[in-house]
């Protein structure tokens, strides 16, 4: 199933992408697409509904973040061997963890506002993993049982804030609008092999990123199990799992940074596409 949230910010309705391409309103089935509805029981209830009889939502409506009320937005750094190579970084011995503020989350096609005093804003197409049930001290062999589904994430980054202003990476990752997720939460049964998905990102029509989840250093199951050793993962939590090469920071001979008035398009095989326009911060 491809689940989404449709409507104005703060007033999104839960929906499913029907086989005929329409958005069908799930409001009579669940109150939202969130941690309370994406466990096994909730997904079974959604699947059992007569989707063809549900009301059709306006196809021109805004698509919101594909999961609401996210508790934690966990991120993995330098998790693609080819991306680590382009940055000159050593392959990490264990996953690099940091957090992105949940206030960064926006819909997949909402505008991205470049933060005040930005110097080096950058793009990153990433696979998002959405947790479906509480995971605590789990084993890798069981980890995917705790996953509800997957989504596209643009893990936008301000590299000056991230790497040149001391401390940890979170400050460079958490600006408002720096976390587009969606368009859909694609349930895991629709993805045959999460470790073999093509992924790409364009800026103003130029293809910068063209990679695959197969070059991940630590796969999805390992990451979910690993994180669960340090904190419980709750239904609705989002884990974004690293980016392939082609980020602005890695361009040669000089890095390329985002500017106001540009258009990013990105997508992952089977998970849909996003498009955002960049705008300057205005007080």
Domains of the chain (ranges, CATH numbers)? 2-57 (no CATH), 73-280 (3.90.850.10)
Token pair for 70: 């996210």
pLDDT computed for residue 231 by the predictor: 98
**pLDDT at position 89 over 80:** no
Least confident stretch, 167-171, 215-219, 256-260: 167-171
pLDDT exceeds cutoff 80 at 87: no
Model confidence at 86, pLDDT cuts 50, 70, 90, reads confident
Measuring CA to CA, how many Å separate 255 from each of 1, 73, 119?
39, 27, 12
Q: Which letter, b or e, does each residue of 85-106 get, where b requires 16 or more Cβ atoms within 10 Å of its Cβ?
A: ebeeeeeeeebbbbebebebbb
In this prediction, residues 155-163 reach a mean pLDDT of: 93
Mean predicted confidence (pLDDT) in 170-196: 97
Strands 198-203 and 206-212, by their bridges, are antiparallel
Distance CA 3, CA 30 (A): 12
Spatial contact of 233 and 142, defined as CB atoms under 8 Å apart: no
| pTM (2 d.p.) | 0.96
Q: Is residue 277 a contact partner of residue 263, using CB atoms and an 8 Å limit?
A: yes
Say yes or no to pLDDT of 166 above 90: no
The mean pLDDT value of the chain amounts to: 96
Look at residue 14 and give its three-state secondary structure: strand
With cut-offs at 50, 70 and 90, classify the pLDDT of residue 108.
Answer: very high
* Percent of the chain whose predicted confidence (pLDDT) is above 70: 100
pLDDT of residue 163: 81
- 138-152, 165-179, 246-260 — which is least confidently predicted? 165-179
If you ran DSSP here, which 8-state letter would residue 199 be given? E
Q: What local confidence, expressed as pLDDT, does residue 84 receive? A: 77
Residue 155 has pLDDT above 80, yes or no: yes
Does the pLDDT value for residue 143 go beyond 80? yes
What is the Cα–Cα distance from 108 to 30, expressed in whole angstroms? 22
> Is the per-residue pLDDT at 103 higher than 80?
yes
Is residue 27 over pLDDT 80? yes
Running DSSP on this structure, what letter comes out for residue 156? -
In the predicted structure, residue 167 carries a pLDDT above the cut 80: no
Look at residue 56 in the predicted model and tell me its pLDDT. 98
């Amino acid at each position: 199933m491809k689940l989404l949230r449709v409507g104005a910010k703060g007033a999104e309705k839960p929906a499913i992408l029907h086989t005929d391409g329409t958005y069908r309103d799930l409001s009579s089935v669940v109150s939202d697409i969130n941690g309370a509805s994406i466990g096994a029981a909730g997904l079974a209830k959604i699947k059992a509904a007569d989707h063809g009889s549900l009301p059709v939502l306006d196809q021109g409506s805004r698509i919101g973040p594909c999961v609401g009320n996210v508790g934690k937005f966990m991120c993995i750094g330098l998790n693609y061997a080819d991306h680590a190579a382009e940055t000159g970084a050593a392959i990490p011995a264990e996953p690099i963890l940091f957090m992105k503020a949940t206030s960064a989350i926006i819909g997949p096609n909402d505008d991205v506002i470049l933060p005040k005093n930005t110097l080096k804003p950058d793009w990153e197409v990433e696979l998002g993993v959405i947790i479906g049930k509480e995971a605590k001290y789990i084993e890798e062999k069981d980890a995917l049982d705790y996953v509800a589904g997957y989504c596209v994430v643009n893990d936008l980054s301000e590299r000056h804030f991230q790497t040149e202003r001391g401390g940890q990476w979170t400050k460079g990752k958490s600006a408002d609008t720096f976390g587009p997720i969606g368009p859909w939460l694609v349930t895991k049964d629709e993805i045959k092999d999460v470790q073999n998905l093509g992924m790409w990102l364009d800026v103003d029509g130029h293809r910068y990123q063209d990679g695959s989840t197969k070059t991940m250093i630590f796969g999805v199951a390992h990451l979910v199990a690993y994180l669960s050793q340090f904190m419980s993962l709750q239904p609705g939590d989002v884990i974004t799992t690293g980016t392939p090469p082609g980020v602005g920071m890695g361009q040669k001979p000089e890095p390329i940074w985002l500017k106001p008035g540009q258009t990013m398009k990105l997508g992952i095989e089977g998970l849909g596409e996003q498009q955002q326009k960049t705008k300057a911060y205005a007080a």
